[in-house]
């Protein structure tokens, strides 16, 4: 009887141990699977959207419910920065993790400028490709194409595909610059070889109408700079001839890019993907689809912000419908601060009303003051990021090192900082220092303080009506106490000024 009992006990014990081991192995496997299940990564990047242009950042005259949902469900940063107060430099920093002032060519590029990023340079898509990601850009590029001369009728390279993107569907520069065509993986979409495209940024082609010679053809009046070739009744920067079948429809551009972005999700959802969804709103020319015309009460600029919010809502809906929303990290931001009159008469100034695109900040696009580079900055990852508001200083340039950490690739550089825990809402620690830029001039943000060195030049950009930040004197502001930068403390606090200058000069080495 005793032997039977021992045999029974031994059998039960072995079964228990075996069961425990299997469970432990299973739990361990679950942990491994979770770690190896890399999240999809989407960067939604708007163009000229200001710190105060969204209702989640305090706007009351306009409602942006879909972007607000990202903010309330993720981390809304109050000190989120683009690297620069203009588009090309910010996009360069976003993709390379490098300060744009280190590259003397990182300025606003013409539509026929050569590729700004060296093909040997590390980039976000290259890094994520190493980690097994599919990579794509859909939308605005504006980082140059080719190596000095572009034949738009043949394969165009180097371009996005040569700096790490597996797939690209882009407009070459901006909506107000020629060529006004879409380019897919280096090829102009719908190009008729019997109607070749020619582009020149110095002189017009014989017999081609311009805004100056044929104003009767215009459906949108130009204010400054935009008086060259006319496409769809809109005067552009630069001259273009041919390519009629390939020219885009301006009012359909938002829908067009949205359709491409949604289709990319549907066709690439089975493996980790990185999508850089670079929207064109609210950059000029502001051409809302008829569905949105008049909806904001603030003219075309307000209308295209509503249009962009709707597009983002539709895009998020697609992620959810395709079952990948909960495994997708979304980063939302803008390339620089707001501008109202940026080359066209479109009632952006006249119909502004009580809306403050700057959100209480000073300056705007092209400016060293805060509104030039402090922009909406949101991270969202459903059921992974705990919703909160963060005052940490973060910059788009930090995405290279931070996302590298996320996918177990060390990409910490001199400029890009690993702030993954901050971006995921697990830490309130941000950057100690950040150099911001506006048209080759730089300034230092450090803690609660910002220092702007003396610069010659106009104090007001009269064309767009924005303060530049230029002055013959040092400017020093405590942003915690003076977010509107009204009280220059440079003379009152010489010790702090000296400290800021030393930090600034050390970082610029």
Structure confidence by residue, pLDDT tens digits, 152-189? 999 999 999 999 999 999 999 999 999 999 999 999 99
Q: What is the mean pLDDT of residues 321-343?
A: 98
Q: What is the pLDDT of residue 411?
A: 79
Residues 55, 121: one domain? yes
State the Cα–Cα distance between residues 113 and 434, nearest whole angstrom.
28
Tell me the pTM: 0.93
Among 354, 182, 316, residue whose Cα is nearest residue 308: 316
Q: CA-CA distance, 114 to 119, in Å (whole number)?
A: 12
Average pLDDT in the 375-400 region?
98
Name the domain count of the chain: 3
Is 490 within a domain? yes
Q: What is the CATH number of the domain that holds 455?
A: 3.30.1120.10
Q: Per residue in 1-13, pLDDT tens? A: 444 444 444 444 4
In a domain, 36, yes or no: no
d(CA 161, CA 185) in angstroms, rounded, equals 7
Query: Is there a single domain that holds both residue 180 and residue 208?
Result: no
Q: Taking a C-beta distance cutoff of 8 angstroms, is the pair 237, 226 a contact?
A: yes
Paired tokens of 66: 């879909």
For residues 341 and 410, state if they share a domain: yes
Task: In whole angstroms, give the CA distance from residue 138 to residue 258.
Answer: 9
Query: Does 302 share its domain with 392?
Result: yes
| Full 3-state SS string of 350-405 | CCCCCCCCCCCCCCCCCCCCHHHCECCEEEECCCCCCCEEEEEEEEHHHHHHHHHH
16: in domain: no
Q: Which of 51-55, 236-240, 410-414 has the lowest mean pLDDT?
A: 410-414
Average pLDDT over residues 17-41: 49
Domain end: 427, 452, 468, which one? 427
3-state helix, strand, coil in the chain (%, to 5): 30, 20, 50
Q: Which residue's structure tokens are 């980082």?
A: 143
> What 3-state class would DSSP assign to 312?
helix
Instruction: Please tell me the predicted confidence (pLDDT) of residue 10.
Output: 43
236 and 319 within one domain: no
Structure tokens at 128: 């994520």
363 and 318 housed in the same domain: yes
The domain containing residue 229 runs over which residues?
Answer: 198-241
Return all residues near 445 (Cβ < 8 A) that are at least 6 apart. 81, 393, 433, 434, 435, 436, 479
Do 121 and 83 reside in the same domain of the chain?
yes
């Amino acid at each position: 009887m005793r032997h039977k009992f021992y045999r029974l006990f031994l059998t039960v014990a072995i079964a228990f141990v075996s069961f425990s081991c299997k469970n432990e192995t299973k739990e361990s496997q679950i942990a491994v699977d979770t770690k190896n299940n890399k999240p999809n990564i989407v960067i939604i990047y708007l163009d000229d959207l200001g710190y105060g242009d969204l209702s989640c950042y305090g706007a009351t005259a306009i409602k942006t419910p879909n972007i607000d949902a990202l903010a309330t469900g993720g981390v809304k940063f109050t000190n989120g920065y683009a690297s620069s107060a203009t588009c090309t430099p910010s996009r360069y920093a976003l993709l390379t993790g490098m300060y744009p002032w280190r590259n003397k060519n990182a300025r606003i590029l013409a539509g026929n400028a050569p590729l700004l990023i060296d093909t040997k340079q590390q980039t976000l898509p290259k890094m994520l490709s190493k980690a097994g990601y599919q990579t794509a850009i859909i939308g605005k590029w504006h980082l140059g194409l080719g190596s000095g001369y572009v034949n738009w009728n043949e394969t165009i390279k180097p371009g996005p595909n040569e700096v790490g993107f597996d797939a690209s569907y882009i407009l070459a520069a901006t909506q107000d610059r020629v060529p006004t065509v879409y380019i897919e993986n280096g090829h102009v979409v719908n190009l008729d070889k019997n109607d070749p495209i020619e582009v020149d940024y110095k002189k017009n082609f014989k017999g081609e109408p311009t805004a100056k010679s044929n104003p009767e053809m215009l459906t949108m009046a130009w204010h400054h700079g935009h008086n060259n070739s006319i496409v769809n009744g809109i005067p552009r920067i630069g001259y273009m001839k041919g390519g009629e079948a390939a020219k885009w429809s301006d009012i359909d551009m938002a829908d067009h890019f949205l359709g491409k972005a949604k289709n990319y999700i549907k066709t690439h959802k089975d493996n980790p993907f990185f999508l850089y969804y670079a929207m064109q709103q609210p950059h000029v020319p502001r051409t809302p689809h008829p569905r949105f015309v008049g909806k904001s009460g603030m003219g075309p600029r307000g209308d295209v912000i509503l249009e962009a919010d709707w597009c983002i809502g539709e895009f998020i809906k697609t992620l959810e419908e395709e079952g990948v929303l909960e495994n997708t990290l979304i980063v939302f931001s803008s390339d620089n601060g707001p501008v109202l009159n940026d080359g066209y008469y479109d009632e952006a100034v006249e119909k502004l009303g009580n809306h403050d695109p700057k959100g209480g900040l000073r300056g705007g696009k092209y400016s060293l003051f805060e509104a030039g580079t402090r922009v909406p900055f949101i991270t969202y990852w459903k059921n992974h990021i705990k919703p909160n508001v963060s005052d940490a200083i973060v910059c788009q340039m930090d995405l290279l090192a931070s996302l590298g950490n996320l996918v177990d690739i060390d990409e910490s550089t001199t400029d890009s900082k690993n702030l993954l825990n901050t971006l995921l809402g697990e830490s309130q620690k941000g950057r100690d220092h950040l150099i911001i830029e506006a048209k080759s001039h730089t300034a230092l943000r450090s803690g609660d303080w910002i220092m702007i060195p003396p610069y010659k030049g106009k104090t007001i950009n009269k064309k767009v009506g924005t303060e530049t930040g230029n002055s013959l004197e040092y400017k020093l502001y405590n942003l915690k106490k003076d977010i509107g930068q009204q009280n220059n403390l440079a003379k009152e606090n010489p010790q702090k000024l000296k400290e800021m200058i030393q930090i600034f000069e050390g970082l610029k080495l």
